[in-house]
Amino acid sequence: MKERITITLDKNLISQIDKRIDGIGIKNRSQEIEVLLAEALGTNIPSKAVLLVGGRGTRLKPLTDKLPKALLEVQGKTITEHLFDLLKKYGIRDVVLCVGYLKDKIKEHFGDGSRFGMNITYVEEDEPLGTAGPLKLAKKYLKGSFIVSNGDELKDIHIPRMFRLHKRKDALATIALTTVDEPSHYGVAKLDGSRILEFVEKPTHPLSNLINAGFYILEPEVIDMIPDGFSMLEKDVFPKLAQLGRLRGFPFAGQWFDIGNIERYKTAEKSWKGISQFEEEEYELG
Residue 286 DSSP code: -
Q: 46 to each of 7, 91, 166, how far by Cα in Å?
A: 29, 10, 11
d(CA 232, CA 242): 15
* CA-closest candidate to residue 72, choices 278, 272, 246: 272
Q: Is 19 a catalytic residue?
A: no
d(CA 170, CA 261): 36
Which listed residue (27, 139, 202, 270) is catalytic? 202
Under 8 Å between Cβ of 128 and 84: no
d(CA 210, CA 176): 9
Q: 196 to each of 1, 37, 204, 207, 224, how far by Cα in Å?
A: 33, 30, 19, 13, 21
* CA-closest candidate to residue 82, choices 99, 70, 96: 70
d(CA 157, CA 177): 10
d(CA 283, CA 20): 11
Residue 75 DSSP code: T
d(CA 212, CA 200): 10
* CA-closest candidate to residue 38, choices 93, 94, 90: 90
Residue 193 DSSP code: T
pLDDT in the model for residue 130: 94
Q: Between vectors from CA 136 to CA 130 and to CA 142, what angle results, nearest 5°?
A: 120
pLDDT in the model for residue 278: 52
d(CA 15, CA 237): 43
Q: Write down the pTM of the prediction.
A: 0.84
Mean pLDDT of the chain: 89
SS3 assignment for 212-268: EEEEEEECHHHHHHCCCCCCCHHHHHHHHHHHHCCEEEEECCCCEEECCCHHHHHHH
What the chain holds in terms of domains, given with CATH numbers, is: 42-271 (3.90.550.10)
pLDDT in the model for residue 81: 97
Spans of the chain, pLDDT less than 50:
279-284
The per-residue pLDDT for range 214-229, each reduced to its tens digit, is 999 999 999 999 999 9
184: amino acid identity, one letter: S
d(CA 213, CA 121): 24
* CA-closest candidate to residue 285, choices 144, 199, 171: 171
Q: What is the DSSP string of 126-167?
A: SS--TTTHHHHHTGGG--S-EEEEESSEEE---HHHHHHHHH
Kindly report the backbone phi and psi dihedral angles of residue 249, in degrees, each rounded to the nearest multiple of 5, phi listed first.
Answer: -120, 140
CA-only gyration radius of the chain, Å: 19
Under 8 Å between Cβ of 101 and 151: no
The per-residue pLDDT for range 81-110, each reduced to its tens digit, is 999 999 999 999 999 999 999 999 999 999
